[in-house]
Amino acid sequence: MTAPLYLAPRLEHRLTSLLGTKGFLHQLAGALGSPLNVVLPDQIADNLRRFQEVYERRNLSGKVYFAHKANRSSALVRRLADTCAHIDIASLGELRHALGSGFSPDRIMATGPKSPEFLWLAARTGVTVNLDSADELETLVAIVTKHQLPPARVLVRLSEFDSTGATVLSRRSRFGTPVDAFSRLLDALERHRDTVRLTGIAHHLDTIGLTEKATALESCIALMHECAARGLSPHVIDIGGGFGVNYLADSAQWETFTSELSNAVLGSRPPLTWRNHGYGLRNEGGTLRGALGLYPAHRPLAGPRYLDELLGLQAPSLSRPLATLLLENLHELYIEPGRALVDQCGVVLARVLEVRDNAGGECFVRLEMNASDVSLEEHGVLMDPVLVPRPDRTCPSTGPVGVYLIGNLCLEADFITRRMVFLPHRPSPGDLLTFPNTAGYFMDFSADHALHQPIARKVAAYQDGGRWRWCLDENYWPITSGSEDC
Ligand SMILES: *Cc1c(COP(=O)(O)O)cnc(C)c1O
């Protein structure tokens, strides 16, 4: 075998402690089945605090909205309701869930395209509506008028920001109103000023590019003046989410993997992936073409640090730090982190069913789960699972093995990941493979009932006087945790 190419996950103390409780994890999976999702509600409160520290350091006022769509868990949302966080919901179901989890309407914002029913419940309860389009504004106005509701507080979501330096034009988006059409939207907002109150302008760019985000933020600051000139008085700029997560512990492992993947695609080393899949790279007559379509899994500038970096950047045309501009104009800053707020907040457990070798010397580990139960591959995130052997078993001294992880769907394509995964030793049936740091989008965003396979149950795990305890996700209420000072 070639030298193992690990992509070790970055684990903070809470996840490290949980993964060290082998007996506890095996008991859980034994009782509740495989796959099993475990969420860590106390971690989300810690993550919130780190974002709030950026606000404090920069003297900014504003609000942190958790983008609920990153995870369906009740425990995470209820734990967050017990802090000073706010929540961003994107469906009628998420709105009901947030209200029922303890978020009062003044702490909720509705984003994304909305149905009339969704708009009615938002307006009826007094939730802030982040308007996706001019049509949505008209629907909301009609609902507020017909049902004689109090004026709705709205933000408008904009897209397609033009950079003045002609370098970046942010990519087209299916969401929001193009900046070009902002004036017309303001006409409508002026017309409807007794039914809707404009409190701010928003954007959410699905990119990791800091310059694109700086351009969008500076544009929003300029547009606030246009609103004021019309006699509207928004005070909020909402820069959305997309702060990202650093998944890997070691930059060298990531660099080695990506360069060895290129070599494998070019045929100068044995394949690292099933059928030498290139994740976007291809070999054209000995030349490497294409672009690596993977999340930059080692990403030290992520989460709160990314926010801080963005705020410290010079505004592209005004050449002053963005944080200073926000502060001088007394704008409140809203953010909507999803993935970054659930960093280190969960793990997916799966039981090993079978370990088999084929005639070509390849080793397959069949798990009691499928790719939709841990959709790392679909989201382009490559990181190693952690092997948790059965507590009663002495680990074989086989040394590291490279294996392919396959799922429980009778499909040739049911790979958990197409990458060869290196494990410290050969696993056995009954061992657990744990996929850490999967609370953001991977554990339940895509899960379904193909072949009548069960969807993972979800439990909340928390520490109580040094001991790990658990309950079903739906039974978790934050009455055991201390509440936060706001
Ligand atoms: C998905 C989404 C987010 C969260 O994005 P992350 O990358 O998970 O931080 C925030 N705001 C809106 C409008 C979204 O659609």
Same domain, 325 and 385: no
Shared-domain flag, residues 206 and 318: yes
Domain shared by 219 and 79, yes or no: yes
> CA-to-CA distance for 196 and 150, rounded, in angstroms?
9
Tell me the C-alpha to C-alpha distance, in Å, between residue 440 and each of 13, 71, 355, 461. Answer: 18, 6, 29, 17
Q: Are residues 307 and 198 in the same domain?
A: yes
Q: Are residues 322 and 399 in the same domain?
A: no
CB 400 within 8 A of CB 422: yes
Q: What's the CATH number where 361 sits?
A: 2.40.37.10
Q: What is the pTM of this model?
A: 0.95
Q: Examine the domain organization and report whether 151 and 54 are in the same domain.
A: yes
Domain-embedded: residue 382? yes
Which candidate in 84, 227, 345, 410 is catalytic? 410
Clarify whether 410 is annotated catalytic.
Answer: yes
Check pocket membership of 316 for ligand 1, CB cut-off 6 A: no
Q: Is 31 helix (H, G, I), strand (E, B) or coil?
A: helix
Q: At 230, which CATH number?
A: 3.20.20.10
CB 462 within 8 A of CB 424: no
Q: How many residues does the chain have?
A: 486
Same-domain check for residues 151 and 46:
yes
304 lines ligand 1 (CB under 6 A): no
How far, in Å, from the CA of 327 to the mean position of ligand 1? 24
- Mark whether 349 and 394 lie in a shared domain: yes
In tens, the pLDDT along 32-81 reads 999 999 999 999 999 999 999 999 999 999 999 999 999 999 999 999 99
Residue nearest to atom 15 of ligand 1 (CA): 112
Q: Is 176 in the pocket of ligand 1 (CB under 6 A)?
A: no
Ligand 1, residue 70: give the atom nearest the CA: 8
- Identify whether residues 273 and 134 lie together within a single domain: no
Q: Would residue 2 count as lying in a domain?
A: no
Q: Are residues 31 and 52 in the same domain?
A: no
Among candidate residues 314, 335, 356, the one where a domain is terminated: 335
Distance in angstroms (rounded) separating the CA atoms of residues 200 and 114: 18
Asked if residue 338 has its Cβ within 6 Å of ligand 1, the reply is yes
Domain contains 424: yes
Could you tell me if residue 480 is inside a domain? Answer: no
- Shared domain check, 98 and 50: yes
Verify that 230 and 356 share a domain, yes or no: no
Q: How far is the CA of 304 from the centre of ligand 1 (A)?
A: 15
Q: Judge whether residue 6 has pLDDT over 60.
A: yes
Is the distance from CB of 433 to CB of 388 less than 8 angstroms? yes
pLDDT digits (tens, 9 = 90+) for 353-380: 999 999 989 999 999 999 889 999 999 9
Residue that the structure tokens 């003046």 belong to: 225
* Structural domain harbouring 310: 41-245+299-335
Number of domains, the chain = 3
Give the pLDDT confidence score for residue 483 in this predicted structure.
60
Angstrom distance (rounded) from CA 32 to CA 461: 14
Cα 394 to averaged position of ligand 1 atoms, centre (Å)? 44
Instruction: List residues bridging with 58 in a β-sheet.
Output: none
159 in ligand 1 pocket by Cβ < 6 Å? no
- Measured CA to CA, the distance from residue 259 to residue 290 in angstroms comes to 14
